[in-house]
Amino acid sequence: MKFQKNISILVFCIIIVSLIATTSGILSNHGPGAYEYQSVRGETVTIYGRGLYQHMSSEVAVQGIAQDYVTLFIGIPLLIAALFLVRKGSVKGKFLLTGVLGYFLVTYLFYLVMAMYNPLFLAYAFLMGASFFGFTLAMFSFEVDSLPESFKENTPVKSAGVFLVAQSFLIAFLWLSIVVPPLINGEIYPQQVEHYTTLIVQGMDLGLLLPAAIISGILLIKKQTYGYLLGPVYFVFLSILMTALTAKVIAMGISGYNIIPVIFIIPTFALISIFFSVLLIKNVIGKPGSAEKPLVI
């Protein structure tokens, strides 16, 4: 695998720093406890008041802790397993590693730009940067032109592509149902903005992640060369992200928030994403080196 040494160093660093970040989010419990705060827009927001996320709203803080659990017990082990497979020369491992790095990139991008400032600011910045460069190097390590030959002929790429496009439009509709009504009735600001500057997750999804999923899906449907790269990588990323979102929804439900209808939508998307991730990677038949450039260290 090209850039193997560079990627390995980045992954080792990501593992160590993310262990610190996730356990800090889960175990920290200092602070005065929940209290009410009036935002600059005049809205009363319940602040979590405990631990690393004590200055975040209660609704978002419990989601952050839930994602820390997923990153700690699913993301990091997958990262370790994928790196082990890559170092053994597995093409399947390359897809897995690239997708997992994509999850870490998006996760700590959100933590950096959305979480209220806390002692782990530099850790989030490091994790975002290391994940970005690791993900980029992993993407460039593929020999793209040979990728279609690395999959079995009957690989269900069209159905996988249709799901990517369909789920993207459904998620987009969900986010637009939050953003558009206040614009129409003149209130401007959705309730979900709370005391934050803007809707970071919805904005990133609508402007970047969902279009990327649609493009990947269309390329898969058309069996275009880059679809065989973007599709499997996006599915691995989406599987972990949807698992994290499922954990967030459950945490919100336990905390007493309304989780209808997302409690039915998100876990379903998670299961389907995992199914297609396994199916696509299972159908990779390339031998070590067949879908990658010569090893350069």
Kind plus residue range of the DSSP H or E element containing 36: strand 35-38
Are β-strands 44-47 and 35-38 bridged in parallel, bridged antiparallel, or unpaired?
antiparallel
Report the distance separating Cα 124 and Cα 288, nearest Å: 34
Q: Encode pLDDT of 2-22 as tens digits.
A: 889 999 999 999 999 999 999
Quote the pLDDT of residue 292.
Answer: 43
Instruction: List, in order, residues 6 or more apart from 250 with CB less than 8 Å away.
Output: 66, 259, 263
Q: Encode pLDDT of 109-145 as tens digits.
A: 999 999 899 999 999 999 999 999 999 999 999 999 9
Locate 217 and state its tokens: 């899906």
Q: Encode pLDDT of 140-191 as tens digits.
A: 999 999 999 999 999 999 999 999 999 999 999 999 999 999 999 999 999 9
Report the distance separating Cα 165 and Cα 196, nearest Å: 30
Contact status, residue 2 vs residue 141, Cβ threshold 8 Å: yes
Identity at 33, one-letter amino acid code: G
Residue 193 — φ and ψ, nearest 5°?
Answer: -65, -35
Query: How many C-beta neighbours within 10 Å does residue 169 have?
Result: 12
126 half-sphere exposure, CB direction, 13 A CA radius: 15
- Predicted TM-score of the model (pTM): 0.94
Contact status, residue 150 vs residue 142, Cβ threshold 8 Å: no
Instruction: List, in order, residues 6 or more apart from 122 with CB less than 8 Å away.
Output: none
